[in-house]
C-alpha cells in the first residue's frame, strides 16, 4: 500500500494521485495537488516551492485524500468552488457550481451590456448564488435578484452574498409559485436559470449522487419538469422584449428550446458550451 506523507511533497502528491486514480476519481493529479495546496494554505501554483508537508499537514492531507477517494467532492473538502472571478463557499446542502455554467454567464453579460443602465436581472434556482453573483460582479449597474427554494442552499447563498459583498437580493421561493416576485412581474430585463434537469433514473457519478442535493439534480421523467415552470415564471416576470437563458443537459439541446418555441417565445436558440456540447437555451418574450 502507498503511504501518503512519508516522502517529499512531490512523492506525496504522486502517491495521492495514484490512490485517487485507483478510486476512480476523474482528475486525480489535479485533485491531489489542490488538496495539498489546501492543507498548506497556498495557491496550487506555489506548490513547487514546498519541499515536504509538515507533520500535522501530512496527517490532514492523508485524511482528505481518503475522503476524496471515497468520492467526497473536492470542493466540499476545500470548502471552495471557483466560478468565474469568484471563490464561492460550498459544502453539504448546496449544488457545487460547474464550469459549464460559466458560458451562460458570458451570454448574460453580453446581453446586459446592451441594456439600459440599472437593468433588472432575476436568477431562478440560485443554489450557491453562483450565476447571480457572477453577473453582479462583472456587470456594472445591474440590479440582481436570486430565488432559491431550499433552505440549506439559500444559507450558502446568503454566506456568499455576505463574503463577496456583491449586491444580490436573495428570496426564498418556489419557481412554480405563480405569485413569485409578484411586484417585479412584467418589469424584468433578463431571467437566468440553471434548474435541476436530470431525468429521474439517469446514471450520475458518485460525487453527484451522494453529495449534490437531490433538489438540485432531478427534473422528473424527462428532466424538464422545472424547465417548464421556469418558462412560466420567466413569461410572468419579463417585460415585453425581455430575455431568458436556461441551462440544460447535453441531450436536451432540442427539447428545452421546444418548451419555449411551443409557448410562443421569439428568437428561440440553443448554445453550446466550450466543449461544443448543447448547454443552454435562450428566448425573447414577444414585444
Ligand X SMILES: C[S@@+](CC[C@H](N)C(=O)[O-])C[C@H]1O[C@@H](n2cnc3c(N)ncnc32)[C@H](O)[C@@H]1O
Interface residue list for ligand X (CB under 6 A): 95, 97, 101, 125-128, 130-131, 147-150, 153, 174-176, 194-196, 213, 215-216, 226
| Of residues 33 and 231, the one with the C-beta less far from ligand X | 231
* DSSP reduced 3-state for 63: helix
| Of residues 170 and 268, the one with the C-beta less far from ligand X | 170
CB of 185 closer than 8 Å to CB of 96 = no
Q: Cβ of residue 2: shortest distance to ligand X, in angstroms?
A: 35
How does DSSP assign 134-189, residue by residue?
A: HHHHHSSS-EEEEEE--HHHHHHHHHHHHHH---EEEEE--TT-TTTTGGGTTTEE
| Of residues 65 and 153, the one with the C-beta less far from ligand X | 153
| Of residues 75 and 128, the one with the C-beta less far from ligand X | 128
| Of residues 204 and 286, the one with the C-beta less far from ligand X | 204
Count Cβ neighbours within 10 Å for each residue of 94-118 and write b for 16 or more, e otherwise.
bbbbeebbbbbbebbbebbeebeee
Q: Cβ of residue 72: shortest distance to ligand X, in angstroms?
A: 18
Q: Cβ of residue 103: shortest distance to ligand X, in angstroms?
A: 12
Our CA angle for 70, 73, 75, nearest 5°, is 145
Q: Cβ of residue 45: shortest distance to ligand X, in angstroms?
A: 25
Give the residue at shortest CB distance from ligand X.
127
C-alpha to C-alpha distances, 156 to 80, 92, 103, 143, 196, nearest whole angstrom: 11, 9, 22, 20, 18
Q: Cβ of residue 166: shortest distance to ligand X, in angstroms?
A: 15
Alpha carbon 268 to its chain centroid, in Å, reads 23
Q: Cβ of residue 233: shortest distance to ligand X, in angstroms?
A: 9
CB of 81 closer than 8 Å to CB of 24 = no
User: In whole angstroms, what is the distance from residue 261 CA to residue 233 CA?
Assistant: 15
Q: Cβ of residue 122: shortest distance to ligand X, in angstroms?
A: 12
Our CA angle for 99, 229, 138, nearest 5°, is 35
Amino acid at each position: 500500500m502507498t503511504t501518503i506523507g512519508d516522502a517529499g511533497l512531490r512523492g506525496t502528491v504522486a502517491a495521492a494521485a495514484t490512490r485517487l486514480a485507483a478510486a476512480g476519481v476523474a482528475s486525480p493529479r489535479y485533485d491531489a495537488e489542490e488538496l495539498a495546496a489546501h492543507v498548506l494554505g497556498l495557491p496550487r501554483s506555489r506548490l513547487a516551492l514546498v519541499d515536504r508537508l509538515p507533520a500535522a499537514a501530512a496527517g490532514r492531507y492523508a485524511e482528505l485524500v481518503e475522503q476524496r477517494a471515497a468520492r467526497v467532492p473536492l470542493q466540499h473538502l476545500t470548502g471552495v468552488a471557483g466560478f468565474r472571478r469568484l471563490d464561492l463557499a460550498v459544502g453539504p446542502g448546496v449544488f457545487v457550481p460547474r464550469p459549464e455554467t460559466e458560458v451562460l454567464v458570458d451570454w448574460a453579460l453580453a446581453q446586459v451590456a446592451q441594456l439600459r443602465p440599472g437593468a433588472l436581472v432575476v436568477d431562478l434556482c440560485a443554489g450557491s448564488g453562483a450565476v447571480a453573483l457572477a453577473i453582479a460582479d462583472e456587470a456594472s449597474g445591474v440590479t440582481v435578484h436570486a430565488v432559491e427554494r431550499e433552505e440549506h442552499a439559500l444559507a450558502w447563498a446568503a454566506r456568499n452574498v455576505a463574503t463577496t459583498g456583491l449586491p444580490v437580493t436573495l428570496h426564498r421561493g418556489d419557481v412554480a409559485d405563480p405569485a413569485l416576485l409578484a411586484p417585479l412581474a412584467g418589469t424584468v430585463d433578463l431571467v437566468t436559470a440553471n434548474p435541476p434537469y436530470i431525468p429521474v433514473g439517469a446514471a450520475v457519478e458518485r460525487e453527484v449522487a451522494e453529495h449534490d442535493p437531490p433538489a438540485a439534480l432531478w427534473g422528473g421523467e424527462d428532466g424538464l419538469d422545472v424547465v417548464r415552470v421556469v418558462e412560466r415564471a420567466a413569461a410572468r416576470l419579463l417585460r415585453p422584449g425581455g430575455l431568458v437563458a436556461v441551462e440544460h443537459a447535453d441531450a436536451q439541446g432540442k427539447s428545452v428550446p421546444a418548451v419555449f418555441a411551443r409557448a410562443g417565445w421569439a428568437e428561440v436558440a440553443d448554445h453550446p458550451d466550450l466543449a461544443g456540447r448543447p448547454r443552454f437555451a435562450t428566448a425573447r418574450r414577444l414585444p
